[in-house]
Amino acid sequence: MKTERHFPEMLAESLFVLCLVLVCMPILCGDAFLPVTSSEILESESEIQAETQKDYIKWVEFEVPYEGLQKAYEWDVETHESETPLNWIELLAYLATEYGGDFKKYKGTDLDALAEKLTAQETTMEELTAKRKYYAYYLEAYTAVLGGMVGEYEIEVSDGNGGKVWEKRYGLKAFSPIAKGYEYYDYDDFGSARSYGYKRPHLGHDMMGQTGTPIIAVESGYVEALGWNQYGGWRIGIRSFDKKRYYYYAHLRQNFPYHKSLEVGSVVQAGDVIGYLGHTGYSTTENVNNIDVPHLHWGLQLIFDESQKDGDNEIWVNCYELTRFLSQNRSETVKNPETKDYWRVYEMRE
């Protein structure tokens, strides 16, 4: 059987052979060549391995509470057009270095004190973090989680006369995964035991609701997966444009799981209707309802390197507190009686 070989491996092997030839040449050709020591060969191999192995984040635990997300966000929006605009992700990353990543220590007064010191220009974030060993890690990790959620955008709003006008805004441009006006209940179930197929932790967040509830794209991106999965039933996978976030929406409605406009490769806007709540899954046979309670399972996977997309190195974060935060921005929808599909009422442009 022919084994697939990759360029870095072939390059390393070729260099090793070359070095071995150089070692032997003095024996064959006298002093025509300078000898190469074994330590130099090992050093060369190590350099090649270092160049071919990427250094990327392997693990993220995101436990920022709703209160911290909300307060940091409010400081960001409030100072957006000031002389010293604050970045909510930088504020949270700094607190993470203070708490050692343990947000059970979080106090709103800590965040307020930090923001006030920065806005008063008593110091800068660069000065505060110059000697903070793990700040760069938390900044990159938290940016991967929250990077596409706040910024400038345009959205349609009612003009008060039955029409719509475009309005420029700065703020939360990500949406709750459940459409406006639809009830649901949830609790923090990340890490709970699951047994179908094999014992494993629950790596998402469940939102229990009524079958047929419109499901909303949290962030803009493109459809990367669409179809049946024996664990998630009918499911959709949407990748953010920066490729850092993979949004997983599962257990969608039997017979009518997706918005009819979608296919793999489709581009979706944050706030678009992408599918409908159901209870499919836990079956190798397609279109089967084997989940007891209708609900949306949505998960957020972080990807720092493509090798983390599938397999043992996946990084999934707890979405419970994030879901609470996103609930303030829910997309209003309307049903098309002919196609039975739901559509957003107010369009958005980023």
143 — pLDDT class (breaks 50, 70, 90): very high
Instruction: Please report the pLDDT score of residue 1 as a whole number.
Output: 39
**Count of Cβ atoms closer than 10 Å to residue 288 Cβ:** 17
Strand partners, 154: 168, 349
**Tens of pLDDT along 226-275?**
999 999 999 999 999 999 999 999 999 999 999 999 999 999 999 999 99
Instruction: Scan for tokens 């999965």, then name that residue.
Output: 229
Instruction: Please report the pLDDT score of residue 11 as a whole number.
Output: 41
Instruction: Please report the pLDDT score of residue 286 as a whole number.
Output: 98
Mean pLDDT, range 157-164, rounded to an integer: 92
Mean pLDDT, range 102-119, rounded to an integer: 97
Instruction: Please report the pLDDT score of residue 54 as a whole number.
Output: 66
For residues 191 and 48, what is the distance between their CA atoms, to the nearest angstrom? Answer: 39
Exposure on the CB side of residue 96, measured as CA atoms within 13 A: 26
Asked if 220 and 269 count as a contact pair (C-beta separation under 8 A), the reply is yes
Asked if 114 and 72 count as a contact pair (C-beta separation under 8 A), the reply is no
**Tens of pLDDT along 39-95?**
444 455 544 444 445 699 999 999 999 999 999 999 999 999 999 999 999 999 999
Instruction: Scan for tokens 């990748």, then name that residue.
Output: 239
Average pLDDT in the chain: 88
**Tens of pLDDT along 321-331?**
999 999 999 99
Task: Indicate the angle between helix axes 108-119 and 66-78, nearest 10 degrees.
Answer: 20
For residues 280 and 232, what is the distance between their CA atoms, to the nearest angstrom? Answer: 7
For residues 222 and 62, what is the distance between their CA atoms, to the nearest angstrom? Answer: 24
